[in-house]
Chain A
Amino acid sequence: MWNRIFALMVKEFLALLKDRKGRLVLVVPPLVQLMVFGYAATFDLKNVPYAVYSEDRGYVSRDLLAAFNGSSNFTLIAHPGDEREIAPLVDSRKVLMVMRIGPNFSSDLSSGRASTIQIIVDGRNSNTAMLVVNYAATIVQKFNREWAARHDAAIPVHIETRSWFNPNLESRWFFIPGIVGLLTLLVTILVTALSVAREREQGTFDQLLVTPMSPLEILMGKALPGFLIGILEATLITLAAVFWFEVPLLGSILTLYTGVFLFLLSAVGVGLMISSIAVTQQQGLLGAFFFMVPAIILSGFATPIRNMPTIVQDLTLLNPMRYFLVVLRGVFLQGTPFHLLIPQLWPLAAIGIASLAIAGWLFRNRMY
């Protein structure tokens, strides 16, 4: 039995690797994606283009502007001299933010009164808008603190902020472990989902059926290559994450691979489920898509599961990616020990076994 499975595995690998394009597709795009997305997927804002409309000539407003200029988050690109120039700057997306300083700003402050500055933000992307407001508020608050210190105002309370696991709050550290999961899923599903459909379309599946191989053997011969490729893919991307992007890998490798192994059970299972239903490769691809997009979107990859409506949150309990991401981020950044990840690992195992069982059943029933 193992001989036959092994022979089929060799054949699968040959079919995947026989032409140069097929080989390249397995290695190059995932790495290119890791590079591009590793640098692009970030909520850190840099060089936010902004304009200042100031009617005040006093020294305080100059100090405040210097504080904004000194920040790498903002780049001053316009200095409108007229109020009517503000709207066109924002509308045409030349600036994301306009700061308005009124005529009495410095004199108000010098005589001990509070003064207000206005911040106008382009809300087309509401998330970016909120971040811009936060950055501006941070600069203003720091300015206020220094002002209070210079003017001998006793401050009864101050905040000492420390962020654990990601001291500089780098967005990249959050996203790259997620990308390890995303690309592992992508490659594994594509390899397995199209494997049977391709044989069906080329008519070679019938030939496979007249061999002495049992359905279970064919299933295993199809599943194991996907599994091996998934493990290699995960290893490749983990290495790039650690050595290229220098994301810390604090936890144990064994815990990480337990997660990868259990996750691949589900990925291969779902891929084979799609494969046994699809008649053409186009259908297989479509099936892969209909699984992958929700699996990624509802996993907490980019937006927290907490923000979703309750029904959708319950639905995510069926999504293997959800658990895998917690394992990945935990092992990479927090060094979470194995026993704290068991609540994530057992659902992964359960979903994996269930999906492989369903794939096996579908295989037997859809084969002839």
Chain B
Amino acid sequence: MSMRLNGLIRKEFLQIMRDPSSIAIAFLMPLVLLLLFGYGVSLDSEHIPLGVVVEAPSADSSNFAAAFPESRYFHIVHFQDTHQAVESMMAGRVNAIVVLKQDFPKRSRQPDGAPVQLILNGVDENTARIISGYVDGALQKWLEHDAAMRGDQLHSPIRMAQRVWFNGELRSRNFLVPGLIAVIMTLIGALLTALVMAREWERGTMEALLVTPISMNEVILGKLIPYFILGMGGLALSVAMALWLFEVPLRGSLWVLFAASALFLIAALGMGLLISSVAKSQFVAGQVAIIGTFLPAFILSGFIFDINSMPGFVQAITHVIAARYYVAILQTLFLVGDEWSVILPNAAALVLLAAIFLGITWKKTRKRLG
């Protein structure tokens, strides 16, 4: 058996060498994707353009407008009148406008106080929320300062002190890069294998294989082993880039990282094999691989979007997405450490998924023999 398996593996490697696109998938793709994400994607909003309109300049209003200083997070644009500012917001030049109306100085001396209008462009709601939080915070600070100046009653009795664990300076790269490794490994696993089985069927070489004494187990193993080696190579490259290029801390141990990745890769390769043995044509297999693996790994894995906030049926779907478990393991390994209460259950889920995917592939392929 081992000789036949060796032969198959050699054949697969020869095919990999002949069509360099497999090598590109394993090594060029992680490189390109990590560079793209690492440098291109950031959730750290900085320099958000915020318009400020003071309709009737006075001592009071300019005192208040000074509560919105230029900072790393906000770029303040001053306008003479509201109409101008609104036009600027429609054209996308500012994301929100703070308006101090004509009657601001007068009403700020009255008991119920002067209203300050905050108009948000709600299209990009994430940015809108950040702005709203910032403006509220700036107001609180100003009120406290103002009350202290006048020796007045306390306006904000409760202060909130926040401590963010594991990623104190909230660097989005620290969670994007580990999550991205999961997306990349999904792609490598599925793309590498999705096409190979379908290719054998499409070219008729699968039938040629079937008349040899090679068993189906050997065919599956013969496909898995070469691409597993290629995939682990891609992983090593990704981890090296994460640590040295993007300087993401690795607080867990390296061997746990590689062991978990090996488990995940087997599940991902199994998924790819399953797709290709069901699809039988490269066109369909390719479509399903992209739609069924990349996008779920991106959106349903908890990599960017919080799984707890999704509706029940979507949460149920995420349970069959292998990337979900891998993302949890990776983010914990990189930022927290060898936290077994997270790693063990997720690793167990990966083993289960890998067994299911490979089991169905094995059954499907065997059926066709009969």
Contact = CB atoms under 8 A, between A and B. Distances in A.
Q: Do A and B come from one complex?
A: yes
Interface of A: 19, 21-22, 25, 29-30, 33, 36-37, 39-49, 64, 88, 90-93, 96, 109, 112-131, 133-134, 136-138, 140-141, 143-144, 147-148, 151-167, 169-171, 173-174, 186, 190, 194, 198, 201, 280-283, 285-286, 288-290, 293-294, 297-298, 302-304, 306-309, 312, 326, 329, 333-334, 336, 340
Question: Nearest 9 A-B pairs (CB), nearest first?
Answer: A166-B122, A123-B167, A153-B153, A163-B122, A92-B341, A163-B120, A123-B164, A169-B125, A307-B42
Nearest to A160: B115
A334 B90 contact: yes
A249 to B, nearest CB: 14
B120 A124 contact: no
A165 B122 contact: yes
B168 interface: yes
B122 A164 contact: yes
A255 B171 CA distance: 39
Contacts of B128: 163, 166, 169
A129 B283 contact: no
Contact of B154 (A64, A114, A166, A201): A114
B220 interface: no
B283 A22 contact: yes
Given A112-B154, A170-B125, A297 B317 contact: no
B300 A40 contact: yes
B152 A153 contact: yes
Contacts of A162: 117-120
B158 A48 contact: no
A286 B25 contact: yes
13 contacts: A22-B283, A36-B296, A39-B311, A88-B341, A119-B160, A124-B167, A126-B171, A131-B129, A162-B117, A169-B125, A285-B195, A302-B304, A303-B42
Given A114-B157, A116-B161, A29 B120 contact: no
A174 B129 contact: no
Nearest to A309: B39
A91 B340 CA distance: 10
Nearest to A312: B40
A304 B335 CA distance: 25
A144 B124 contact: no
Contacts of A170: 125
Contact of A91 (B124, B295, B336): B336
Contact of A129 (B143, B146, B167): B167
Interface stretch (B134-142, B211-219, B256-264): B134-142
A282 B32 CA distance: 18
Nearest to B284: A21
Interface in B342-356: 342
Interface in B155-186: 155-168, 170-172, 174-175
B153 A148 contact: yes
Given A285-B289, A326-B92, 18 more contacts: A36-B296, A43-B126, A114-B157, A121-B163, A121-B164, A121-B165, A123-B167, A125-B302, A127-B304, A138-B136, A144-B157, A157-B116, A190-B286, A281-B195, A285-B290, A312-B40, A333-B122, A336-B90
A39 B167 CA distance: 28
A333 B5 CA distance: 58
A136 B137 CA distance: 12
A45 B309 contact: yes
Contacts of A114: 154, 156-159
A138 B133 contact: yes
Contacts of B159: 114-117
B164 to A, nearest CB: 4
Contacts of B168: 123
Interface residues of B, number: 120
A39 B311 CA distance: 7
A148 B111 CA distance: 13
A164 B282 contact: no
Given A91-B341, A119-B163, A137-B160, A157 B153 contact: no
B287 A49 contact: no
Interface in B200-251: 202
B153 A127 contact: no
B24 interface: yes
A339 B342 CA distance: 54
B268 interface: no
Contacts of B292: 29
Contacts of A285: 191, 195, 282, 286, 289-290
Contact of A126 (B154, B174, B283, B313): B174
A41 B305 contact: yes
A110 to B, nearest CB: 10
Contacts of B328: 93
A169 B157 CA distance: 29
Given A29-B288, A143-B158, A169 B195 contact: no
Given A21-B279, A118-B161, A306-B47, A123 B166 contact: yes
A144 B156 contact: yes
B314 interface: yes
B125 A160 contact: no
B121 A155 contact: no
Nearest to B86: A164
Nearest to A116: B159
B130 A134 contact: yes
B114 A156 contact: yes
A131 B125 CA distance: 12
B302 to A, nearest CB: 8
A353 to B, nearest CB: 25
Contact of B155 (A122, A148, A282, A333): A148
Listed residue (B136, B156, B300, B305) with the most chain A CB atoms within 10 angstroms of its CB: B305
Interface in B27-62: 29, 32-33, 36-37, 39-48
A323 to B, nearest CB: 12
Residue from B126, B130, B292 with most neighbouring chain A CB atoms (10 Å): B126
Given A48-B308, A340-B91, A124 B125 contact: no
Contact of B162 (A64, A119, A153): A119
A29 B287 contact: yes
Nearest to B152: A153
A125 B306 contact: yes
